[in-house]
Structure 1
Amino acid sequence: MTQALSDAERRDWLKLARTENVGPITFDQLLQRFGTAARALEALPDLAKRGGRNIRLATDAAVDKELADGAALGARLIASCEAAFPSALAALDPPPPILWARGRIEILDRSGVAIVGARVASAAGQRFARGLASELGQAGHVIVSGLARGIDAAAHEGGLPTGTVAVLGGGIDDIYPPEHAGLYARIVEAGCVVSESEPGRTAVARDFPHRNRIISGLSRAVVVVEAELRSGSLITARLAGEQGREVLAVPGSPLDPRAKGTNDLIRQGAALCDGAEDVLRALEGLRSLHEPDRRYDQGPPADPDDALRASVAALLSPTPVSRDELVGATGGPAPAVFAALVELALAGRCELLPGGMVSSS
């Protein structure tokens, strides 16, 4: 379900998304409860106090600066409820609330294939990634990757003539590595660069899992070309599997550490990829990605009382459990338990995870 936002409403979405402890799941829950970002922002201080702590809202000055910085770069802010938001990304449950995009935004809605892999990649691996991207591009698919050294850069190069999307961990202007400034400029001209971080932000380690979620979310299939066993590319592959995307891996010599991750993916059930035809065959059998029907017009549920909130908090641990388990364990009404979890999340006392899971912070 899409809706048009006024400038003021889009600003409220950004302010809510930038408020501490408001991740994509909490954002989605707040909108389902209060209907609009403005009403959610009004309620946040009281909700966080119920959870046990005060909360710092994003400041108006910070929001205004982010909007001005994005406009100065020629970037566009897209809210997840808007028609311009990529449909594949909107199919995530939940999607990132907002996305900065710079370049040819229209290609974000074309069929995407992610090609990712080792930063310290072999010459053969880079050649394979470049050729695979070129062939898939000629078959009508947009190539998605992360602008990193090695396999990512080769994939972007191969996809440039037909369309490629670079997903950044930092802001939309955070070019890393710096030697990819020329490649970045060409992608802005012929493809698109996206980020959910504010312009001017330099990526840190915790940003890359979020970036990887967007890489897989924009794609119908993810191909891992080279990866060691502890590679971030394997995180992208895992996320793709959780999101219902196809996962393929290029096999390699057991003597090459860069093949251990891809060979292990195949051992775990990923499809083997030795050329574009394998990817195209996998895509033929992939079901359509449907956006969940989110209706942000529900009335607020019954508020949890102090006893229920305390009961929910006491049941949490670092081991994730499902929200439904918590409902059964407390015996409380599901809407009130879910509301208590949002309050605890806003207070930084629990973490709402994909798939309806939750853990203590």
Structure 2
Amino acid sequence: MQNIQKIDFHIPELDSMKKYPENLYYIGNLDLLNKKKIGIIGSRHPSQYAINYTHQIANQLSQTNITIISGGAIGIDTIAHKASGNDNTIMISGTGLDIRYPSINKKLITEIEQKGLVLSQFPPNTPSLPRNFAIRNELIVALSDILIVSYADIKSGSMRSIEYALKMKKEIFVLPHRIGESEGTNKLLANGKAKAIYNINDFISQFKNSKIVENIKDDFLEYCKTNPTYNEAVTKYNEKVFEYELLGKIIIINGRINIF
């Protein structure tokens, strides 16, 4: 594990918090704090629709040189971190930085430590206590210029984050969902407290500092066009097979990979 250090300078964005953090620990690249930052959060159990569009939004925002902030949890957080690239994402931890939580994301967290930035208000050896994640959520919102909530039930940690965002007068964006899905974000829309992302290109265009790279060649998808066997693909590309299947970009039929 890389050295855990304390931030010894003032971060103006954090003045919007109820109380400025007494301590802030980090591993990684502090230069990311100087970039435009957008928070992307949501359920640990999102729909496939939310997964697909979260990936697309985070990836395209990152291509415009915007840093993505999230909380490292499974579900939407994981998709946001991975889609933005390990070198352009900030993870806010709800534990001490000597504890990579959740353990299922240990590899992802390690990669963010090496190329991106991991922050925590908690000293080493602080475990994953429920109250700590509300504190983490406030830090995510404070650092973010705007907040995107991809999927959220009414009673969820994401809705607590939205409370912080409303108090801090941060702009909130959500995906439009069907009735009965993501009822938390649908309620925000109904009450006029969030804006819906109806067209991703239009949404991304308002944040452009540089041109989005269109039609980037994806070597893995090009390979999948050859209809390889599942075993061949796993041998050559390992985790990409699982990731792209999860994102709905590929499907396994009769032991072979097909593109949607």
Tell me the TM-score normalized by structure 2. 0.74
Richer in helix (by share): 1
Residue 247 of structure 1 corresponds to 172
The yes-or-no answer on 1:263 pairing with 2:192 is no
Residue 101 of structure 1 corresponds to 26
What is the CA deviation profile of residues 165-195 of structure 1, one whole-angstrom value per residue up to 9, with x for unaligned ones?
0001111122222110110011112210000
Residue 4 of structure 2 corresponds to 75
2-structure distance, mates of 1:279, 1:207: 32
Deviation at 1:89, TM superposition (A): 2.2
Residue 142 of structure 2 corresponds to 217
From 186, 189, 196, the counterpart of 1:272? 196
1:6-17 alignment, distance < 5 Å:
none
Deviation at 1:124, TM superposition (A): 2.3
Deviation at 1:91, TM superposition (A): 4.8
1-structure distance, mates of 2:139, 2:47: 26
From 160, 164, 168, the counterpart of 1:235? 160
The yes-or-no answer on 1:197 pairing with 2:122 is yes
Structure 1 residues 163 and 194, CA gap change in structure 2 (3 angstroms): same
Larger radius of gyration: 1
2-structure distance, mates of 1:283, 1:268: 29
Aligned partners of 1:118 and 1:228 also within 8 Å = yes
Aligned partners of 2:87 and 2:112 also within 8 Å = no
Tell me the TM-score normalized by structure 1. 0.54
Structure 1 residues 213 and 170, CA gap change in structure 2 (3 angstroms): same
From 104, 109, 113, the counterpart of 2:38? 113
Amino acid at match of 2:126: R
User: Runs of 5+ in structure 2 lacking a partner?
Assistant: 210-260
Aligned length: 207
Aligned partners of 1:272 and 1:278 also within 8 Å = no
Deviation at 1:268, TM superposition (A): 2.2
1:14-163 alignment, distance < 5 Å:
73-79=2-8, 82=9, 85-92=10-17, 94-160=19-85, 163=88
Deviation at 1:76, TM superposition (A): 1.5
> Secondary structure in 2 aligned to 1:248?
strand
The sequence identity of aligned pairs, in percent, is 27
Structure 1 residues 282 and 140, CA gap change in structure 2 (3 angstroms): closer
Residue 110 of structure 2 corresponds to 185
> Secondary structure in 1 aligned to 2:7?
strand
Aligned partners of 1:99 and 1:196 also within 8 Å = yes
Deviation at 1:94, TM superposition (A): 3.6
2-structure distance, mates of 1:210, 1:93: 10
What is the CA deviation profile of residues 249-305 of structure 1, one whole-angstrom value per residue up to 9, with x for unaligned ones?
11111133xx21111111222111232632654899xxxxxxxxxxxxxxxxxxxxx
Aligned partners of 1:220 and 1:283 also within 8 Å = no
Aligned partners of 1:116 and 1:233 also within 8 Å = yes
Amino acid at match of 2:187: D
Q: CA RMSD in A?
A: 2.1
Structure 1 residues 106 and 240, CA gap change in structure 2 (3 angstroms): same
